[in-house]
Amino acid sequence: MKINISNLSEGIHDYQFDEPSSEIGLDERFSNAVSVQVKLEKRRRQLFLTGHIETSGKFVCDRCLDNFDRRFSLDYRMAYVYDESDAGEVDRDEITVLKMSTNVINIDEDVKEYVLLAIPLKLLCKEDCAGLCGKCGENLNHASCNCPKEETDSEIIEIKPKRILSKN
């Protein structure tokens, strides 16, 4: 996903990219295309990009081990400047400093990073996933198991601190 900026006039420019996920370096979980809508505003010494990314992937639930599909729809921003002092109020994580000789901006790596950062640490097929039975391994989302349920003690155990005698 490359944008030629060498002869780009000042103002707002719109771009649409649809790339295979493998082309931007996403792993095999992402088999669908990655769709990116970009609005690029060119000013004299700055380029401000806002992007909207859409894609999906196949994952394994961390609780029940079922496969499930997950859609990603996310926005990101990036400022391209020739000197960091030209960035103004932009967050440092959203700044890329370009060489004066740069003719093309490649957004593949940025898109890949934003998609990977959008994957939650705990992957769940649904928020209320019941998981697997700890004894028989039955997927409790599809059926209930006949394992005996352990009863818990309802007694309150009182712990008394030891009395410490001091030698005086």
What pLDDT was estimated at residue 98? Answer: 81
What pLDDT was estimated at residue 167? Answer: 61
The span from the CA of 145 to the CA of 58, in Å, is 27
pTM here is 0.75
Residue whose structure tokens are 């060489």: 99
What pLDDT was estimated at residue 64? Answer: 93
Along the 168 residues of the chain, how does pLDDT read in single tens digits?
A: 999 988 888 899 999 999 999 999 999 999 889 999 999 998 887 889 999 999 999 999 999 999 999 999 999 999 888 876 655 666 666 777 888 888 899 999 999 999 999 999 999 999 999 999 888 888 999 988 888 876 555 555 555 566 666 565
What pLDDT was estimated at residue 39? Answer: 96
Beta bridge partners of 40: 13, 49
What pLDDT was estimated at residue 151? Answer: 55
What pLDDT was estimated at residue 2? Answer: 92
Q: Is residue 110 within 8 Å of residue 47, measured between CB atoms?
A: no
Q: What sections of 45-163 are H helices per DSSP?
A: 108-118
Provide CB contacts within 8 A for 85, sequence distance 6+: none
Provide CB contacts within 8 A for 59, sequence distance 6+: 29, 67, 68, 69, 70, 119, 123
Q: Where are the beta strands (DSSP E) in the chain?
A: 2-4, 11-20, 33-42, 46-60, 67-81, 95-97, 104-106
Residue 109: strand, helix, or coil: helix
